[in-house]
């Protein structure tokens, strides 16, 4: 496979070559800004450091970690673009059969809890070389956290790995300061002042601006203490003047400094203007390439951050809720570069970010990427009066992308906040998204239809979704073009009972097609929903929350896709055991057949108590979940 420019090196090019930094990744190497190792590697390279990429090394011993020799400054280890446990296990705790970040989609090329394992092997290979953990796995496991697969509270990965440092969030600035400090020979005391850095110590900081969290051993063994711990952690993470966090772990302390300052818009522009090849090494071709590249090869990131505050989502904990948007000129320059790629055929696969229509919006009272208050969400339960929600900037950008020579289609595959699209300032944006940018399918995420569950999720009530579908249908009629609304749904979230799951099943019956976009709730570290799952309480109020687990959780998922013959058998047996066969008749009818799923009309009941979301049409098959 030819490449327009040179990939970062995967091995020394000459005998005696020495790298300043060796990045170890659980993903195969892809030189694309959507892949963390490439983004950090290119960034450090732009600062003058020589960087090597050690992708998916053999972790069973230290030898593979000596392949590049001893790095001058540090090893940087990451599990990859996904938490390795999420990459390896389904919500039902079954092993996955494919890994999109591995050649040919094969499995078994990285260990569970890869960040810890890689860090330990680096220390075995070169004990004197600093090891820096990073990436989403390390970021969200930097302190005590509930682990769904082990079904227990685990400690900080920094303590488990015995690594020297951990950088969290989007860590370019923290890594740049750390690399400079190590190069200049700064003392440990100086390095430990870097924003966005965590470290281990026996003498933690004290005084003003320091919050000591309950000890790991206490929260590990007592769900009530975990709830107390999570409340303190959540409040600290949302405070604009974030404190230094200290948590005892046995005979030592894990210290988490306040976050690093976010990159400015100009710095973000420069980051995405680095010479990414959008390729992987030719040696991967023989195994079938890297599946994760194809859906994003010609995508363009517009911004960072999300102020949605969904309870189950870790984006705000990782990227922050403040929005940092690239300049239109930078985005358009990247689009122009993409059109010159010999593999480009005219389609930009995505122009977006965590929530695409948050581009060029944000808090009027805060600097870009910053927060002015401690609200978990700027748009739930209502839109903050200080939030600029105008879609004018994004609309102008999309219009400009459409005009770039060589661009035939410019799609938006990232998530879209439908509640923002109903606001007056974004209705024109909605119209043009439907007309030009969604490829016949508009994908949005109501998640559920029970208002109790939606409140716990931090999502708008179902009436807001009904308002959106009515606006969608109105614009669809005016455009006179085939376009279909695809709702993403979530089952098994804390707060959902069997009646709620049946109501969701009735809603899916009215879609007019099989509900393919259904996600079973998976507890992931550092989210409010995960705290609810583990403790059985709402951390905001302390009130008890019903938590579907085990077979009950499986039944909720099966109800959302009840038209599957396999699911029907499971549901009939389960409802017979409960003596509630009557509930199934509303889905399968007296003859035991699934509802035909005819498109609904205005006012058709969807099984929602008190509200009537409307969905029409039979869309083509396919389509994947956008970034959430």
* Average pLDDT over every residue of 272-279: 97
Q: What is the pLDDT of residues 438-474, one digit of tens each?
A: 988 999 999 999 999 999 999 999 999 999 999 999 9
* Average pLDDT over every residue of 367-372: 91
Is residue 616 over pLDDT 90? no
Which pLDDT belongs to residue 432? 98
Is residue 3 over pLDDT 90? no
Q: What percent of the chain has pLDDT over 90?
A: 85
Question: How many angstroms separate the CA atoms of 515 and 268, rounded?
Answer: 38
Which pLDDT belongs to residue 510? 84
Is residue 278 over pLDDT 90? yes
Q: What is the pLDDT of residues 423-438, one digit of tens each?
A: 999 999 999 999 999 9
Contact 353, 414 (CB under 8 A): yes
Q: What is the pLDDT of residues 173-186, one digit of tens each?
A: 999 999 999 999 99
Where are the domain boundaries for CATH 3.40.50.280 in the chain? 21-199+251-256
Prediction pTM value: 0.91
What is the helix (H) or strand (E) element at residue 216, kind and residue range? helix 216-221
- The full 3-state SS of 99-140, as one line of letters, equals CCCCHHHCCCCCCCCHHHHHHHHHHHHCCCCCEEECHHHHHH
| Residue 603 pLDDT level (bands cut at 50, 70, 90) | very low
40: exposed, middle or buried (C-beta count within 10 Å: 0-12, 13-18, 19+)? buried
Which pLDDT belongs to residue 320? 84
Which pLDDT belongs to residue 5? 64
55: exposed, middle or buried (C-beta count within 10 Å: 0-12, 13-18, 19+)? buried
Question: How many angstroms separate the CA atoms of 181 and 295, rounded?
Answer: 38
Q: Which two tokens stand for residue 232?
A: 């303190």
Q: What is the pLDDT of residues 373-385, one digit of tens each?
A: 999 999 999 999 9
Phi, psi of 404 (to 5 degrees): -65, 125
What three-state secondary structure class fits 622?
A: coil
Complete DSSP assignment for 379-423:
SSSS--TTEE---HHHHHHHHHHHTSTT-SEE---S---HHHHTS
Is residue 352 over pLDDT 80? yes
Is residue 623 over pLDDT 80? no
Complete DSSP assignment for 480-548:
TS--EEEEEEEES-TT--HHHHHHHHHHHHTTSS----EEE----TT-HHHHHHHHSB-TTT--B----
* Average pLDDT over every residue of 606-621: 30
Question: How many angstroms separate the CA atoms of 187 and 520, rounded?
Answer: 47
Question: How many angstroms separate the CA atoms of 44 and 20, rounded?
Answer: 10
| Residue 622 pLDDT level (bands cut at 50, 70, 90) | very low
Is residue 621 over pLDDT 50? no
* Average pLDDT over every residue of 577-582: 88
Question: How many angstroms separate the CA atoms of 597 and 507, rounded?
Answer: 10
Is residue 200 over pLDDT 90? yes
Is residue 287 over pLDDT 60? yes
Question: How many angstroms separate the CA atoms of 102 and 94, rounded?
Answer: 19
Q: What is the pLDDT of residues 27-43, one digit of tens each?
A: 999 999 999 999 999 99
Classify 21-199+251-256 by CATH class.
Answer: alpha beta
Longest Cα–Cα distance of the chain, Å, equals 77
* Average pLDDT over every residue of 252-275: 97
To which residue do tokens 């750390």 refer? 178
Q: What is the pLDDT of residues 292-349, one digit of tens each?
A: 999 999 999 999 999 999 999 988 888 889 999 999 999 999 999 999 999 999 999 9
* Average pLDDT over every residue of 485-492: 95
As a whole number, the mean pLDDT across the chain is: 91
Q: What is the pLDDT of residues 5-14, one digit of tens each?
A: 688 888 777 7
Helix residue spans in 222-377 (DSSP H): 223-238, 265-272, 315-319, 328-339
Question: How many angstroms separate the CA atoms of 1 and 3, rounded?
Answer: 7
| Residue 1 pLDDT level (bands cut at 50, 70, 90) | very low
* Average pLDDT over every residue of 144-154: 97
Which pLDDT belongs to residue 434? 97
């Amino acid at each position: 496979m030819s490449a327009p420019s040179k990939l970062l090196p995967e091995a020394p090019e000459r005998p005696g070559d020495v790298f300043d930094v060796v990045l170890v990744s659980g993903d195969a190497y892809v030189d694309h800004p959507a892949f963390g190792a490439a983004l950090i590697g290119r960034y450090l390279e732009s600062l003058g450091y020589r960087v090597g990429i050690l992708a998916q090394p053999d972790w069973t011993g230290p030898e593979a970690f000596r392949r590049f020799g001893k790095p001058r400054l540090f090893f940087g280890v990451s599990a990859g673009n996904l938490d390795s446990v999420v990459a390896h296990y389904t919500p039902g705790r079954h092993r996955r059969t494919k890994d999109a970040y591995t050649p040919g989609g094969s499995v078994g090329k990285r260990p569970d809890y890869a960040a810890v394992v890689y860090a330990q092997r680096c220390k075995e290979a070169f004990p004197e070389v600093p090891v820096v953990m990073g990436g989403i796995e390390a970021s969200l496991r930097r302190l005590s956290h509930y682990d769904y697969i082990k079904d227990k509270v685990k400690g900080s990965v920094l303590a488990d790995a015995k690594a020297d440092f951990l950088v969290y969030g989007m860590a370019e600035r923290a890594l740049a300061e750390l690399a400079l400090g190590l190069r200049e020979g700064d003392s440990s005391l100086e390095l430990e002042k870097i924003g966005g850095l965590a470290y281990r110590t026996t003498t933690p900081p004290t005084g003003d601006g320091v919050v000591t969290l309950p000890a790991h051993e206490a929260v590990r063994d007592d769900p009530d203490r975990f709830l107390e711990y999570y409340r303190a952690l959540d409040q600290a993470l949302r405070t604009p003047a974030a404190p230094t966090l200290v948590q005892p772990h046995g005979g030592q302390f894990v210290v988490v400094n306040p976050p690093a300052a976010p990159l400015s818009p100009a710095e973000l522009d420069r980051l995405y203007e680095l010479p990414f090849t959008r390729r992987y090494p030719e040696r991967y071709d023989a195994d079938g390439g890297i599946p994760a590249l194809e859906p994003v090869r010609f995508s363009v990131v517009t911004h960072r951050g999300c102020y949605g505050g969904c309870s189950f989502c870790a984006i705000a904990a990782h990227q922050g809720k403040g929005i940092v948007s690239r300049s239109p000129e930078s985005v358009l320059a990247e689009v122009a570069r993409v059109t010159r790629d010999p593999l480009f055929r005219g389609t930009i696969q995505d122009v977006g970010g965590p929530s695409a229509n948050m581009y060029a919006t944000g808090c009027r009272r805060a600097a870009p990427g910053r927060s002015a208050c401690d609200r978990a969400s700027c748009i739930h339960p209502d839109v903050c009066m200080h939030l600029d929600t105008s879609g004018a900037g994004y609309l102008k950008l999309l219009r400009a992308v459409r005009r770039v020579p060589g661009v035939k289609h410019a799609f938006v595959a990232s998530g879209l906040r439908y509640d923002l699209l109903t606001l007056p300032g974004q209705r024109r944006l909605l119209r043009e998204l439907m007309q030009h940018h969604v490829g016949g399918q508009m994908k949005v995420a109501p998640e559920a239809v029970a208002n109790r569950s939606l409140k716990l999720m931090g999502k708008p009530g179902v009436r807001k979704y009904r308002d959106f579908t009515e606006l969608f249908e109105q614009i669809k009629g005016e455009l006179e073009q085939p376009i279909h609304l695809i709702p993403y749904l979530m089952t098994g979230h804390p707060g959902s009972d069997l009646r709620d799951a049946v109501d969701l099943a009735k809603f899916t019956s009215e879609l007019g097609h099989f509900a393919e976009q259904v996600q079973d709730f998976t507890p992931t570290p550092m989210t409010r929903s995960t705290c609810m799952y583990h403790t059985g309480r709402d951390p905001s109020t302390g009130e008890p929350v019903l938590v579907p687990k085990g077979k009950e959780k499986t039944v909720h998922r099966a109800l959302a896709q009840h038209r599957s013959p396999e699911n029907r058998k499971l549901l009939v047996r389960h409802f017979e055991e409960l003596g509630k066969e009557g509930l199934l008749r509303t889905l399968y009818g007296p003859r035991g057949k699934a509802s035909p799923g005819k498109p609904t009309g205005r006012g058709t009941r969807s099984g929602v108590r008190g509200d009537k979301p409307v969905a029409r049409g039979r869309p083509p098959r396919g389509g994947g979940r956008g970034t959430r």
